[in-house]
Amino acid sequence: MTRMLIVGPPGAGKGTQSKRISEELNIVAISTGDIFRENIKGETDLGKEAKKYVDAGELVPDSVTNRMVEDRLTWDDAAEGFLLDGYPRNLSQVAAFDEISSRLDVKLDVVLELTADTEELTSRLVQRAETDGRTDDNEDVIRHRLEVFQKETAPMIEEYRQRGLLQQVDGLGEIETVNARIMDALKA
């Protein structure tokens, strides 16, 4: 059983690799971005609350996000391990997640970081905007999401490095190649 996070800048391929990892390790992948997008599409209360932040490339307020993740982790499918994609996203969410983890008695095994350079990411994201039609994939919002990553998420990754949980993997390359690197890193 594995309990892990996948982190990395927007466009580094977290979503794609998450799906693969969850199949290979037989654990549920939980993407906070996907949950927000589904709720926005379904026009739920949560979706209405989150929409303006997601569309602007801002983080949804921590109180909303933390509650949503804690609820999701109590579902049966998370009892045998999980892969959290996109959460925690800043240091305050790390603190909240520490409390959630101790309440639910789920200890993290590993934090996997997919690394990639910003120029490459911007062009990947612009391409994805054309194919997926994500409303937060226009160029200004993309740039803003990368800034939010540098400012808010990079310090959170550093925190997990200091805790000795961080494994870094080069996210550039073919899906298969990156997947193989990830599987090697997880064995280590």
Q: What DSSP string runs through the chain?
A: --EEEEE--TTSSHHHHHHHHHHHHT-EEEEHHHHHHHHHHTT-HHHHHHHHHHHHTPPPPHHHHHHHHHHHHTSGGGTT-EEEES---SHHHHHHHHHHHHHHT----EEEEEE--HHHHHHHHHHHHHHH--TT-SHHHHHHHHHHIIIIIHHHHHHHHHTT-EEEEE--S-HHHHHHHHHHHHH-
Report in angstroms how near the CB of residue 152 gets to ligand AMP at its nearest.
Answer: 9
- Write out the binding residues for ligand AMP, residues 49-108 only, by CB under 6 A: 53-54, 57-60, 65, 86-87, 89, 93
- Write out the binding residues for ligand AMP, residues 123-142 only, by CB under 6 A: 136
57 is in an annotated binding site: no
Report in angstroms how near the CB of residue 14 gets to ligand AMP at its nearest.
Answer: 7
Marked catalytic residue, from 19, 20, 124, 128: 128
**Options 36, 82, 97, 160; binder of ligand AMP; rule CB under 6 A:** 36
- Residue 128 annotated in active site: yes
**Site of interaction with ligand AMP (CB under 6 A):** 10, 32-33, 36, 53-54, 57-60, 65, 86-87, 89, 93, 136, 145
Residues forming the annotated binding site for ATP? 11-16, 128, 173
